[in-house]
Amino acid sequence: MTESTSAPTYFIRTFGCQMNEHDSERMAGMLEAEGYERVDSAEAATVVVFNTCCIRENADNRLYGNLGHIKPLRDADPDKRIVVGGCLAQKDKDLIQRRAPYVDVVLGTHNLASLPRLLAESKKGPSFEILEQTEVFPSALPSRRESWWHAWVSISIGCNNSCTFCIVPAVRGVEVSRRMGDIIDEVQRLVSEGVVEVTLLGQNVNSYGRDLDGTPMFSRLLWALDEVPGLERVRFTSPHPKDFKQDTVDAMAGAGVVCEHIHLPVQSGSSDVLKRMKRAYTRDKYLQKIAMIRTAIPDVAITTDIIVGFPGETEKDFQETLDLVEYVGYDAAYTFQYSPRPMTEAADLPDQLPKEVVQERFERLVELQDRISIERNLGMEGKTFSVIVEGVSRKDAGRLTGRTRTNKLIHFPDDGATPGSFRKVRVLSAHRNHLDGELMDGGVDRAHRSPMGLPLLASSGPGCSC
Ligand code: SAH
Ligand code: SF4
Ligand code: F3S
């Protein structure tokens, strides 16, 4: 990336989830279509975009810290533009204007497509626009992908649930599904450009299609993707336990293209807390879904999200969470301390817990999950996996980093493989967040699709998580 170019330049900092990353790729695509070139720092860029998140309070603080840092550069350069987009912008347009009046453009989650126009208008003064409904599905916009072999594919936007802790429905709007034909067309086009793995994105992927057909169509989509020649791996995030049914498990087990990994956010192990969260499932119902998945896909890796310290959570409730975590044996868990959010029901619930109590529980949960993650990874030692190369290891320039179908990060000797190529790697040692391995049979793996029943990975024994 050159920084001595005379073309206008841009830099995007993404604060949020995969959907936010996907939106950043679209904003980058639009800017490049307008002649902007990417640079690697906010300091060097003509246009600096902060694509924000507001899921927890610390996300807000991070934005204002970044804005404060960039202000002197904006003051010194009349051509420089600061853009704030994403979920926090959707929630806080007026506050941003008050706290950071030097910001040039604010746009929300429903009007990414307006970025070039708002930038042009900002020559005359601050240009802020927030819409309440999506104008153009982001997937229709140009894109500049971060990876040539992997792509995010949006299958729906918004969310019709009302989890009492969650601000997403307020900032992303109601659920709108994309036509299945449009999704398949996009995936076929991506494959023709060299993509081998896609991650389907939606706040509740299992309800995909309900607004189109009156009935969920997610499993049909998975089967349809299995027919796309050249597509090797499909991942998805996130399924909601209440809508996750046998048809999706059958598609995961039967469609070779779908990876043996599921991220199934539980949030809490206590049925009382789940009820107050309005998650619409109980602890037992959740565990039934886990049993259904493990029966159909014994080698599946399961990950989750957990919130600690939801209002009114008792020590007994928390013990139920610890107990569930131990029982399920998650490969990994994203653990969060409850953060009260405006526009959510839980923010007004009584019995908000003291910070020290939440912190102490959080530490116990992390310690438990760390132990379990290591145990799960130890179960992979000695086994051979199909791995997609992601690039040179950040820790060791002589090694490559890749990912198994079960989404485990693995480091192995550099044989010159380029990102996106497949290698067969045997696990030598397991750690909490990664594995170390060696190349097998000359390394190259030609049987990329599901190992389920295929000889390549037949070394997986009973009870193995991966
Ligand atoms: N649609 C996804 C979740 C998106 S938000 C789903 O339902 O699975 C990602 C995660 O952030 C949630 O699963 C939850 O664990 C966490 N989260 C959301 N709101 C939060 C809050 N107010 N405080 C702490 N964590 C929160
Ligand atoms: Fe938020 Fe619940 Fe919707 Fe997920 S399903 S985005 S947690 S409201
Ligand atoms: Fe994602 Fe954060 Fe918005 S988690 S949907 S970027 S609030």
**Phi-psi category of residue 90: left, alpha or beta, with phi > 0 → left and psi -120 to 50 → alpha:** alpha
Averaged pLDDT, 410-416: 96
Answer whether 17 contacts ligand 3 (Cβ < 6 A): yes
For the cut 60, the answer to whether the pLDDT of residue 361 exceeds it is yes
- Residues above pLDDT 70, as percent of the chain: 94
Assign 343 to helix, strand or coil.
coil
Q: What is the mean pLDDT of residues 435-453?
A: 72
Is 437 in a helix, a strand, or coil?
A: strand
How high is the mean pLDDT of the chain?
92
According to the model, what pLDDT value does residue 161 have? 96
Residues whose CB falls within 8 Å of the CB of residue 417, separated by 6 or more in sequence, listed in order: 389, 400, 423, 443
Cα-to-centroid distance, 264 and ligand 2 (Å): 12
Distance from residue 162's CA to the centre of ligand 2 (Å): 7
Q: Are 427 and 409 in contact (CB under 8 A)?
A: no
pLDDT class of 402 with cuts at 50, 70, 90? very high
What residues does ligand 2 touch, defined as CB less than 6 Å away? 159, 161, 163, 166, 168-169, 203-204, 240
Average pLDDT, integer, range 282-297: 98
State the average pLDDT over residues 362-389: 97
Relative to the CA of 240, which ligand 2 atom is closest?
5
Which residues, in sequence order, are bridge partners of residue 118? none
Which residues' Cβ are closer than 6 Å to ligand 1?
55-56, 165-166, 168, 203-204, 238, 240, 265, 267, 305, 307, 336, 338-339, 341
**What mean pLDDT is predicted for residues 223-252?**
97
Q: What is the pLDDT of residue 224?
A: 97
| Residue 461 pLDDT greater than 80, yes or no | no
Longest CA span, the chain: 67
Task: Inform me whether the pLDDT recorded for 452 exceeds 60.
Answer: no
User: What average pLDDT does the segment 266-291 reach?
Assistant: 98
pLDDT for the residue 462? 26
Question: Which residue among 54, 165, 242, 362 is best mutated to probe the pocket of ligand 1, counting the most ligand atoms within 8 A of its Cβ?
Answer: 165
Q: pLDDT tens digits, residue range 35-58?
A: 999 999 999 999 999 999 999 998
Cis peptide before 147 (omega within 30 of 0): no
Phi-psi region of 351 (alpha: psi -120 to 50; beta: other; left: phi over 0): left
- Res 136: pLDDT: 78
Does 373 have pLDDT greater than 60? yes
Domains of the chain, earliest start first: 9-135 (3.40.50.12160), 147-259 (3.30.750.210), 384-444 (2.40.50.140)
pLDDT at 2 over 90: no
Pocket test for ligand 2, best of 176, 204, 343 (most atoms within 8 A of CB): 204
Question: Which atom of ligand 1 is nearest to 203's Cα?
Answer: 1
**In whole angstroms, what is the distance from residue 389 CA to residue 420 CA?**
5
Cα 166 to middle of ligand 2, angstroms: 6
Residue 79 is predicted with a pLDDT of 94
pLDDT interval class at 458 (50, 70, 90): very low
SS3 content of the chain, % helix, strand, coil (to 5): 40, 20, 40
